[in-house]
Amino acid sequence: MTEAVKSLRQTPLPQDPRETGQQLRPGLWETVNQRYPGSMITKADYVPLARLAKPLSQARVTLISSCGVHAKTDPPMDVCHPFGDFTFRRVPSAARHADLIIHQLKYPHDDADEDINVIFPIERLQELATEGTIGGLTRNFFSFIGYNMDSARFERTVAADIARAVSEEEHADVALLAPA
Amino acid sequence: MSVPFLKEAVEAGAPDQLLRFVRLHLGDGNEETGRREIDKSWVEAVKILLQYQPVNEEFIRQVMQQDDSTLALLYFHLHFHLIRKSGEWIHDGSR
C-alpha cells in the first residue's frame, strides 16, 4: 500500500454535501448560466451514492471520465459539433499512456498530454489493482467529451449506454467518475 | 446555451440568440472573440483561394449532394480547419 493511500485511509472523510442535497459550487453555476443561458443541468432531486456491497480489496473498479481520452487506434470524437458528441469510447484498462490520446477543444490538456494520469488516472488504478488495494479493474474504462449542450439527449444516449455497459458488460462494483 | 433554449429561439424568430450561441462556441466562451474568429476563418479561405491552386470541383459537387445535417456539421468542421490553417489558435484544447 502506498503512503498516499495510507494517509487517505487515516483521514476522516468530510460529510458529502451531495447527501444533503447542497450544490457544491453554486457561484460557479450562476456564472456559467450567464455565459451559457439554459445550458446547466438543474435537478430538484439527486441520486444518492450507493453503499459498497463488498470490501474495496474485492471490488472491481471502473473509470468514467469526461476528458475525451481514447485509444489512438479509435476514431477521434467530434470536437467541432456545436452541441457536443453523443458517443463514448471504451478505453482498455490495461492501456498505457503511450496508447492514448486526448481530443478536446474546451479545456487545456497540455499537462495531461505529458501525464495522462493527472486527468485519467489509469496507471494509478493499475498499480492499486496490482498491489491488491482494489480487487481489480473492469476490462474497459469509459470516456466522452464533457462539452454538451443537450443534457436530455446526453442522458438518453451516452449516460444510459455507459451505465448499461458498466453494469451489464463490465460488472463493475465501483465506478470512479473523473470530470475534466 | 442549451438545445431547448436554441429551439425556443428558433420558434420565437430570434436568430440573434443563435448567433450568440455560435459566437460563444467558436470564441471559446467569449462572444466578441467568436465574432473575430468567424471573420478570421473567412479571411483564411480568401487567402487560400488567392493562391489559385487547382481545386477538385467534382469532389465539391459530390459533397454538396450530401444531406443538410452532414453539410451543416461540415460547415463547423471547415471553420476549425481554416482557423488551424491561420496559425492563430485561441482554444484551450487540441490544436
State percent of chain A over pLDDT 90: 57
A17 grid coordinates: 454535501
- Interface residue of B18, B20, B25, B89 to substitute, partner A, most A CBs within 10 Å: B25
| ipTM of the modeled complex | 0.91
Residue B35 confidence (pLDDT) above 50: yes
- A85 → chain B, closest CA residue: B73
pLDDT tens digits for range A12-71? 655 555 455 555 545 555 556 555 666 666 666 667 778 889 999 999 999 999 999 999
Which residue among A80, A102, A149 places its CB closest to the CB of B80? Answer: A80
Does the CB of A29 have a partner CB in chain B at under 8 Å?
A: no
Does the CB of B71 have a partner CB in chain A at under 8 Å?
A: no
- Interface residue of B1, B3, B6, B80 to substitute, partner A, most A CBs within 10 Å: B3
Q: Test B5 with A37 for CB contact under 8 angstroms.
A: yes
- A112 → chain B, closest CA residue: B93
Mean pLDDT of B45-51: 97
What is the value of pTM for the model shown?
Answer: 0.82
Q: Regarding predicted confidence, which is higher, A7 or A155?
A: A155
- A37 → chain B, closest CA residue: B1
Contacts of residue B45, defined as CB under 8 A and 6 or more positions apart, other chains included, come to: B82
The full DSSP string for B11-56 is: HTT-HHHHHHHHHHHHTTT-HHHHHHHHHHHHHHHHHHHTT-----
Position of cell 487560400?
B48
Q: Which residues of A touch B28 (CB under 8 A)?
A: 105-106
State percent of chain B over pLDDT 90: 72
Does the CB of B25 have a partner CB in chain A at under 8 Å?
A: yes
Does the CB of B73 have a partner CB in chain A at under 8 Å?
A: yes
Residue B25 confidence (pLDDT) above 60: yes
Of A102, A100, A86, A103, which Cα lies nearest the Cα of A140? A100
Query: Residue A121, Cβ neighbours under 10 Å: how many?
Result: 18
Q: What is the pLDDT of residue A18?
A: 47
Residue pair A113/A102 in contact (Cβ under 8 Å)? The answer is: yes
| Residue A58, SS3 per DSSP | helix
Which residue among A35, A78, A108 places its CB closest to the CB of B92? Answer: A108
Q: Which residues of B touch A82 (CB under 8 A)?
A: 21-22, 25, 76
Mean pLDDT of A153-160: 94
Q: Which residues of A touch B73 (CB under 8 A)?
A: 78, 80-81
According to DSSP, the β-strands at A136-137 and A60-65 are parallel
